Structure 1
């Protein structure tokens, strides 16, 4: 079983964090390959940046989907997830989606805890898109700058634990979802300090992806995620243009 982890951010250090967290729970019968977007922004935090990152997701999948049993869109907010599902037949799992759905299996309501105020509006729209507003107790965000996106979890760990405690005490959260690629791997470090289950989204995503790959679902042939009719395009990568035009063999 082969899983592809796609980081739509352009920071390789974030890919390394995501990969390490995912591999820590990878089943023995599975392999995991990771790829970092070659264009876009170092870290996606707005709707505009998510749109750019979503195109990278589609281009990477167009090039590589035929070699994998499932793929992960490894940015909280799941840029390009819906488009990927309608364009490709393999299961595609979103980082946010996997974290939140896993949280729903551990408690009634979850709170999202993240490291920057700018992420709040986009994350809320992601919760709404997945239909989980009724299960989300709130989104808690740190207020303040950080020195390095790849070191934010080390720099802000104590503050994130304090934020999680506020979510438990003030929002009545049953589960904490640590949100954002830079927080991958932090859950294992702080779980003992937080008195409710803590979900690491990279770990949740790889386990959800391997489960779906093992189930071997067929791609949708009808409904809203059926592959769209063929269409010509201009300026896209060759592989993505071929997929949209139904010129590929997959």
Structure 2
């Protein structure tokens, strides 16, 4: 089985971290095909940046969908997720939705801990889109800045662990999601210090993508996720334009 892992951020180092982290729990018959966004931002932190990253995500799926069994969008706000499910015939998962659905299988209420306050509004939107506001105990972020996105785990380790504990004690969370692609792999590092399940969103998204691929369900031909009718476009990448127009590339 081949799973297309799309990093909508432009950071190659982040993509490499995702692959290294995911490889720890990858099923032996699963191969990751990892891609980094060719344009956009080093890391996505707002609604506007998410829209830009969503377009890049659709372009990458259109270009590289051949020969893969499922797609994982490797950003917590799930840029392009709903559009990708509408447009393509492959199962598509993403980090925020997958993490929250996993949390609901482990706990009654979950909290989200992330690394920057600029992410909060976007992540609130992700919770609302999932329809899980009633299960979310809150979103917590450190009150100190970080210097490097590549080193945010080590820079803010103690603050992030403290926020996990506060989520349990104050917000009454039964599980904690460590949100944001730069925190990939952090759950495994600090799990022994937090007395409730910690959820790594990338592991959740890859696990659910693997399951959906194994189920071999047929693509939607009716309803909200049926592929839209052919339509001409202007200025699109070759692969995305061809797919939208329903013509061979």
Q: In which range does the TM-score fall when normalised by the shorter chain? A: over 0.9
1:70 equivalent in alignment to 2:70: yes
Residue of structure 2 in register with 1:189 after alignment:
189
Residue of structure 2 in register with 1:80 after alignment:
80
Residue of structure 1 in register with 2:33 after alignment:
33
Residue of structure 2 in register with 1:169 after alignment:
169
1-structure distance, mates of 2:66, 2:76: 24
Asked whether the equivalents of residues 24 and 203 of structure 1 are also in contact (C-alpha less than 8 Å), the reply is: no
Shift of 1:197: 0.4
Deviations 1:177-223 (A, max 9, x none): 00000000010110000010000111111111111111111111000
Partner SS, residue 101 of structure 1: helix
Shift of 1:75: 0.2
2-structure distance, mates of 1:183, 1:158: 13
Deviations 1:140-179 (A, max 9, x none): 1112321111110111111100001111111100000000
Deviations 1:104-128 (A, max 9, x none): 1111010000000000000000110
Residue of structure 2 in register with 1:210 after alignment:
210
1:198 equivalent in alignment to 2:165: no
- Ranges in structure 1 where 5+ consecutive residues have no aligned partner: none
TM-score (norm. length: structure 2): 0.98
Residue of structure 2 in register with 1:241 after alignment:
241
| 1:14-163 paired onto structure 2 within 5 Å | 14-163=14-163
Asked whether the equivalents of residues 115 and 143 of structure 1 are also in contact (C-alpha less than 8 Å), the reply is: no
Give 4+ residue runs of structure 1 displaced > 3 Å after superposition: none
Q: May I ask how many residue pairs the two structures share in their alignment?
A: 249
Residue of structure 1 in register with 2:4 after alignment:
4
2-structure distance, mates of 1:106, 1:21: 21
Aligned-CA RMSD value: 0.9
2-structure distance, mates of 1:151, 1:176: 21
1-structure distance, mates of 2:230, 2:182: 38
- Ranges in structure 2 where 5+ consecutive residues have no aligned partner: none
